[in-house]
Amino acid sequence: MKKKVVSIVICFILCMGMFSLKAYAAVNLLKDSGFEENITGETTPRSYFVDASEVPAWSTSDPSNVIEIWYCPPGIGNGFTPGRPGGIEFNAHSGDWLAEINAHAPAILYQTVKAAPGALYKWGIWHMGRNGTDVMQVLLGTPTHDGSISEGTPLNPFESGAQVSSPLLSDNQDAWGPHMGYYTLPADFPESTMQFQMEAVSSNGGQTDSIQLSMGNIIDDAELYMIAEPFEKTIHVGEPEPTDEELADLINLDDEYACEIDQGTPFDGSVGRHDVTIDVKDADGNLIGTINSTFIVQSTLKVKYVDENGATLKDFPAVTYESPDVYTVTPPSGAISFNNTEYVYDKVYAGSDALTGTMDADRNVILVLKPQSSTISAAAGDAENTGAELPAAGNSNTLNYVFLCLIAGIALTSGAIRHEAHKSNMK
Ligand SMILES: [Ca+2]
Ligand SMILES: [Ca+2]
């Protein structure tokens, strides 16, 4: 019975640990996604051509800087019936307002948001035809739109970068069409911001002249979510591989998705830098994107002096490695004073790591010092304090440097030496 209680307590603690992971729900990066926050103050069902400043969240490449929005609350008789063939009453998908991509001329309707290179995004839009079947595209990427629009040509306005456009999104005037997709911003994306753009491709059954393009492609409820982002994580050698739940926490994964390390980039936990690819899957298990991230696995070199009874004489600051380098600890060649007694090196302590080896694991090097005979002691001085007895021997500059620092009892935190790149940040 007692065992059972203990098991339940342990399970509870483990479960608490599991649920303590950060819950993360992505937020829409687009402001005023449904055009409700315009400042026109209008309440009559009809269309309005307004300066973009009256729809503050949105921008347009329209030469006149005009955005077209319609006031058309849901419900029969509340909507707006454009004065064109069809006589169809339109209602907003959400709230009271919707927009047409183009006002009087072909243009791009867009927002600029902060860019997170390497991050996985989800975009979404509700779309409807006006006089027939209309076709649009969502474009994501570099904010370098040059303002030139070719009539009716599916555009990639991101001429200067490797960006993405959605498939052609096609809907008639019978119902709102929901559309969504995923996009991973390149890790080397050069800008600090990116744009979410909407473009009319054709109107009313494939017509592409500027008059037709300026009518149709009705939209509402634009969405752009960042659902996962890359990380660089430092861990210690021997720590277990992160669980999928911990990985999800590291990439700030939206709660509705799952992730795992791709089998093509297994994580073996050895000392060094490990780039891993993390597969992100939707609720149905479909791969929707990958996140490239990095684990840095560290090891630690600790050195100490003990006397013949194993009592500590000096404990040196630990040195951290981020690659499996060769280390060498050089014993003191002269006498060292502790508690008014002169000591000299005797041997490596039983159970100590060797004086030299590789940092593919934590290393603890323990040197036994024994009291020096009185005649030698008088001549040797105090090497610890003066540094006068430092040995010249060593297998490389790096190792001499490590030794010097160990003797001086200082942390390895600076210095223009090649070894520095392998050490921890020591924050
Ligand atoms: Ca709306
Ligand atoms: Ca229009």
Cα four-point dihedral sign 254, 255, 258, 259: positive
3-state secondary structure of 233: strand
Domains 46-228 and 230-297 share a fold: no
CA distance 66 to 352: 77
Q: Which of the residue ranges 153-167, 189-203, 257-271, 293-307 would you say has the lowest mean pLDDT? A: 153-167
pLDDT of residue 86: 63
- Tell whether the model's pLDDT for residue 33 goes beyond 50: yes
Q: What is the pLDDT of residue 24?
A: 72
Residues 365-391 pLDDT 10s = 999 999 987 444 433 333 333 333 333
Write out the two tokens for 335. 């006498």
Question: Across 55-69, 314-328, 398-412, which has the greatest mean pLDDT?
Answer: 314-328
Residue 363, C-beta contacts closer than 8 angstroms, at least 6 positions apart: 299, 300, 301, 302, 327, 353, 357
What would the mean pLDDT of 3-13 be, rounded to a whole number?
Answer: 42
Query: 73: CA distance to ligand 1 center in Å?
Result: 9
How many angstroms does the Cα of residue 165 sit away from the middle of ligand 1?
A: 23
Mean pLDDT of the 119-133 span = 95
Structural domain spans, the chain? 46-228, 230-297, 300-422
* Residue 101 CA, ligand 2 centroid: distance in Å: 7
Domain 230-297, CATH among 2.60.40, 2.40.50, 1.10.3470, 3.30.70:
2.60.40
CATH topology for 46-228 is: Jelly Rolls (2.60.120)
Judged against a pLDDT cut of 70, whether residue 229 lies above it is answered with yes
Mean pLDDT of the chain, nearest integer = 81
Q: How far apart are CA 298 and CA 83, in angstroms?
A: 70
Average pLDDT of 175-189? 91
**Dist. CA 393 → ligand 2 center (Å):** 82
pLDDT at 410 over 90: no
How many other CB atoms are there within 10 angstroms of residue 251's CB atom? 21
Dist. CA 3 → ligand 2 center (Å)? 73
The whole-number average pLDDT for the span 218-231 is 96
Torsion angle of the four alpha carbons 395, 399, 400, 401, in this order, in degrees rounded to the nearest 10: 160
Q: What's the pTM? A: 0.76
Q: DSSP states of 387-402 as a string?
A: -TT-----SSHHHHHH
Average pLDDT over residues 174-198: 90
